[in-house]
């Protein structure tokens, strides 16, 4: 019998308890042992649950219980999740988590502590919700050099974008629905402004390239400035706008990494990933491109990834098998302004034909976009690839010629 504890009885934590109750037989077959939740840590009261006798408000009841071998940390945030995780690992308990903020901040250190204590720190649920991506990346794709990771890594924003575009639902209503469905973070700004996707691409990049990457070093843009006009122009170009996280190695052992809304061409699989679904495309130098798609947020999908980690933690008890990466104190993040990238731009102007003439003369092989009902005082166009830094010079040149840049999005190559 393997006894486990759950810290945090929110959307995912309650899902973990439910899976152990509903799929108990299955878990026994897979792990070789009956898996039983012995304790649940939460400061709130949950009267009326069939397992309300398991709740405690005192972390000591978990960390000092020698019968508990695996702890699921579903608390979110860095503190006290960090202190609790560290204490559990040091007491010889494996910890599994869906807490991407903690893994992105303290992953290198916690993985090291797990190794020193012959236990595991697993975090499959921290990226892509229910999609298996952590294990495939460091196990199934282990023979490859990872040339690029590109993904839709936030279910809330993808859900909001789909609802706005396909159902004409206002932004606020779509966000409220995402919150109601348990997709959004406690503070949904982390979803909307790209912080959540940023943490996830940092975790994937650390796994792929072996060094810790701190979210604070990564350029990020959110979706709050997007308008329906941008989406319509995107569709006129046969593309979709998606919040994309991307990482790829460049020279000197550095990694170019960023998060932002991008124009995704329809022949890229990511363009058709809608709603709460996430997708991650990994390009290996041997396998070429592999894409993983599934529900990126929500109770059962995320909890299923947590419980899969529990099964592995039970099976590997006493052996440290989790992947590690190092934090050598140096940022391996390359300047994103050195990227070479094509742009979509939308600009306002008092004189459309003069603006078009200027843009045509300023940019080689520019492609103008239009859609039925587009505003009369604006133009939109797609550029050829340029060094990202030059796009700022371009914006300044446009302004000096009476053309006001409104939107600028990268095009996913």
Q: Which residues are tagged catalytic? A: 200
Closest contact distance (angstroms) between CB of 158 and ligand HSE is 8
Instruction: Annotate each residue in 100-129 with x if it binds ligand HSE (CB under 6 A) or - if it does not, as one string.
Output: -----------------------------x
Instruction: Select the residue whose beta carbon is closest to ligand HSE and give its number.
Output: 156
Name which position in 297, 313, 341, 369 contacts ligand HSE (CB under 6 A): 297
Count of all residues that appear for the chain in the document: 413
Name which position in 42, 124, 185, 195 contacts ligand HSE (CB under 6 A): 185
Rounded Cα gap, residues 375 and 350, in angstroms: 12
- Identify residues 386-405 at the interface with ligand HSE (CB under 6 A): none
Binding range to ligand HSE, per CB under 6 A, among 29-37, 184-192, 319-327, 331-339: 184-192
Quick one: 41 or 184, whose CB is closer to ligand HSE?
184
Closest contact distance (angstroms) between CB of 183 and ligand HSE is 5
Name which position in 82, 183, 209, 237 contacts ligand HSE (CB under 6 A): 183
Quick one: 271 or 278, whose CB is closer to ligand HSE?
278
Quick one: 86 or 100, whose CB is closer to ligand HSE?
100
Quick one: 154 or 407, whose CB is closer to ligand HSE?
154
3-state secondary structure the chain: CEEEEEECCCHHHHHHHHHHHHCHHHHHHHHCCCEEEEEEECCCCCCCCCCHHHEECCCHHHHCCCCEEEEEECCCCCCCHHHHHHHHHHCCCEEEECCHHHHHHHHHHHHHHHHHCCCCEECHHHCCCCCCCHHHHHHHCCCCCEEEEEEECCHHHHHHHHHHHHHCCCHHHHHHHHHHCCCCCCCCHHHHCCHHHHHHHHHHHHHHHCECCCHHHCEECCCCCCCHHHHHHHHHCCEEEEEEEEEEECHHHCEEEEEEEEEEECCCHHHHCCCCEEEEEEEECCCEEEEEEEECCCHHHHHHHHHHHHHHHHHCCCCCCCCCCECCCCCCECCHHHCEECEEEEEEECCHHHHHHHHHHHCCCCEEECCCCCCCCEEEEECCCEEHHHHHHHHHHHHHCCEEEEEEEEECC
Closest contact distance (angstroms) between CB of 128 and ligand HSE is 8
Closest contact distance (angstroms) between CB of 2 and ligand HSE is 26
191 binds ligand HSE (CB under 6 A): yes
Quick one: 151 or 296, whose CB is closer to ligand HSE?
296
User: How many binding residues for ligand HSE (CB under 6 A)?
Assistant: 11
Quick one: 183 or 336, whose CB is closer to ligand HSE?
183
- Whether 123 and 309 have beta carbons less than 8 Å apart is answered as yes
- Identify residues 127-156 at the interface with ligand HSE (CB under 6 A): 129, 154-156
Closest contact distance (angstroms) between CB of 150 and ligand HSE is 16
Residue 120 token pair: 């595991």
Quick one: 273 or 379, whose CB is closer to ligand HSE?
273
Closest contact distance (angstroms) between CB of 297 and ligand HSE is 4
Name which position in 196, 230, 339, 378 contacts ligand HSE (CB under 6 A): 196
Q: Which parts of this chain interact with ligand HSE (CB under 6 A)? A: 129, 154-156, 183-185, 191, 196, 296-297
């Amino acid at each position: 019998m393997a006894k486990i504890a759950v810290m945090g009885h929110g959307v995912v934590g309650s899902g973990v308890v439910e899976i152990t109750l509903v799929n108990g037989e299955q878990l026994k077959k897979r792990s070789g042992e009956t898996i039983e939740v012995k304790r649940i840590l939460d400061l709130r009261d949950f009267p009326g649950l069939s397992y309300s006798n398991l709740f405690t408000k005192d972390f000591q009841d978990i960390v000092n219980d020698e019968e508990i071998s695996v702890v699921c940390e579903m608390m979110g945030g860095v503190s006290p999740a960090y202190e609790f995780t560290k204490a559990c690992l040091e007491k010889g308990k494996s910890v599994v988590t869906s807490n991407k903020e903690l893994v992105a901040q303290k992953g290198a250190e916690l993985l090291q502590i797990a190794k020193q204590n012959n236990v595991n720190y697993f975090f499959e649920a921290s990226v892509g919700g229910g999609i298996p991506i952590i294990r495939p990346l460091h196990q199934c794709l282990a023979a490859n050099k990872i040339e690029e990771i590109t993904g839709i890594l936030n279910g809330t924003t993808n859900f909001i974008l789909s609802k706005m575009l396909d159902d004409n639902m206002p932004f606020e209503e779509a966000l409220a629905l995402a919150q109601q469905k348990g997709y959004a973070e406690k503070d949904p700004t982390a979803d909307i402004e790209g912080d959540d996707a940023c943490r996830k691409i940092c975790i994937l990049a650390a796994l792929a390239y072996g060094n810790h990457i701190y979210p604070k070093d990564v350029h990020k843009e959110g979706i709050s400035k997007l308008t329906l006009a941008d989406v319509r122009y995107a569709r006129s170009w046969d593309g979709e706008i998606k919040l994309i996280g991307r990482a790829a190695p460049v020279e000197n052992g550095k990694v170019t990494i960023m998060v932002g809304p991008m124009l995704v061409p329809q022949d890229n699989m990511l363009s058709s990933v809608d709603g709460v679904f996430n997708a991650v495309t990994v390009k290996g130098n041997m396998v070429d491109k592999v894409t993983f798609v599934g529900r990126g947020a929500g109770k059962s999908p995320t909890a299923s990834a947590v419980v899969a980690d529990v099964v592995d933690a039970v099976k590997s008890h006493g052996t440290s098998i989790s992947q590690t990466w190092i934090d050598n104190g140096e940022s391996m993040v390359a300047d994103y302004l050195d990227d070479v990238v094509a742009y979509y731009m939308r600009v306002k102007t008092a004189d459309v034909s003069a603006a078009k003439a200027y843009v045509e003369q300023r940019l080689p092989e520019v492609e103008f976009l239009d859609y039925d009902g587009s505003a009369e005082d604006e133009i939109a166009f797609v550029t050829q690839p340029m060094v990202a830094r030059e796009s700022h010079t371009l914006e300044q040149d446009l302004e000096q010629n009476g053309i006001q840049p409104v939107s600028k999005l990268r095009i996913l190559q």
